[in-house]
Amino acid sequence: MEVGSPSKRGRVMAPKNAISRDFLSDLPVGILHHIMSFLDTCQAVRTCVLSRQWRNLWRSVPHHVLVQVDYLTEDEVVFKRFINWLLERRDPDAAINIFCLEYCIFEEENSENNSADKRSRILKVSNEEYCNLQLDHSVLTSKYLTRVVFNNVSLDQGFFEKLEMGCPAMQVLTLYGCVIVDIEISSKSLKILNFNECQFPDEDKSYISVPSVTSLTMYRPQGFVPVINGVAYLVTTSIDLNQCDDSIN
């Protein structure tokens, strides 16, 4: 053997007729679902082309993130159709743990019908446009929902009553930049309630009555600060009234 020539000893050569093995597809379904949870839903659906084992795997993924990145009307229509297509083709026996919707709307079309699966445990709706999203109250009918996060959503009169009646397991509600028209903010099931730069009514005083809540956060509210009643189990609270129009009674 010549000096400097690579040695052939120690090399492992695969047989010419050897079949390559897909080790990723051999992983348990639970681990594959966890891997797919790092993808948005559109990317997860595209994994169906990887192999036969992956063809229907997306249909039972328990984590959905739906993001509309474009603002054109035709793209908005396509986005809505994709959501409906997705929910129609999901495995009906598979639970959804998280359903996150990031949505951009036009001012003249600022309402959203129920598109979230009723079995979701966590619902996140984020509207990135300058106008507030008018949410269909039917989205608040689920015995599975335990946590809701809304960003830039309008909460009309009767919202919290509908929330309590339709979502008896609700424990965590977080609101960012929401316009709260409802003057009766009440819930017997909520444990954690967060308001972040929310707009409260300017003319009518609103009231917060959440007897089971243990954590309450209110950061820079706008409008009249609501009166807080019936929080006997409150353990932690953080209230920043900077630039608010009123004070807590």
Q: What does the pLDDT profile of the chain (249 residues) look like in tens digits? A: 455 555 555 555 555 555 566 677 778 888 888 888 888 888 888 888 888 778 888 888 888 777 765 434 456 677 777 877 887 788 877 877 777 776 655 444 444 444 455 567 888 887 766 566 776 666 677 788 888 999 888 888 888 888 888 889 999 999 999 999 999 999 999 999 999 999 999 888 899 999 999 999 999 999 988 999 888 899 999 999 876 554 444
What does 140-152 look like in DSSP terms, one character per residue? G--SS--EEEEES
The pLDDT score that the predictor gives to residue 117 is 55
The pLDDT score that the predictor gives to residue 137 is 64
The pLDDT score that the predictor gives to residue 129 is 60
CA 44 to mean position of chain CA atoms: 16
- HSE-up of 7 (CA within 13 Å, CB side)? 3
pTM as predicted: 0.66
Question: CA quadruple 18, 23, 28, 30: dihedral positive or negative?
Answer: negative
Number of H helices, E strands in the chain: 4, 15
Q: What order of strands is seen across the sheet that includes strand 215-219?
A: 63-67, 98-103, 122-127, 147-151, 172-176, 192-196, 215-219, 236-240
Q: Is 11 helix (H, G, I), strand (E, B) or coil?
A: coil
